[in-house]
Amino acid sequence: MSGSSDANALTEWITAVSQELGLENALEQPGTVDMVLDLTSDVAHGVSRPGAPVTAFLIGVAAGRADDPAVAARDYAEKIGNLAKGWDSDSERGVPANDQSQRG
């Protein structure tokens, strides 16, 4: 598959899934798909490949509970992406993402 075929398939898939879940407007902010892809890449390469989709799911659940899910998803993705990037550092393990006072 070429890059444009992959991009087209991804766009079609995301549109279909969004419609099935009643989330047609969930991705209207530019860069959301790239944010998720970057996050899952960071987790897959820095922590564990199977951890990537589970992490995306957990962020989605947490964001869905927030007053503004789109803003929360971006904030959580940034926090968890940073956690994944520093995962090889023992000081990062076991420190909740929302407890910045304990982070290095």
**Alpha carbon distance 95, 75 (integer Å):** 17
pLDDT of the residue at 9: 95
- Cα–Cα separations (whole angstroms), residue 6 to 24, 37, 38: 21, 13, 16
Average pLDDT over residues 2-22: 89
Segment 61-94, tens digit of pLDDT = 999 999 999 899 999 999 999 999 999 875 555 5
Average pLDDT over residues 4-12: 90
Q: Please, which residues have CB within 8 angstroms of residue 46's CB and are 6 or more apart in sequence?
A: 84, 85, 87, 88
pLDDT of the residue at 98: 58
pLDDT of the residue at 103: 47
pLDDT of the residue at 64: 94
71 vs 101: which has the higher pLDDT: 71
Segment 22-46, tens digit of pLDDT = 988 888 788 889 999 999 999 999 9
Chain centroid to CA 7: how far?
18
The residue ranges of every structural domain in the chain are 1-28, 31-102
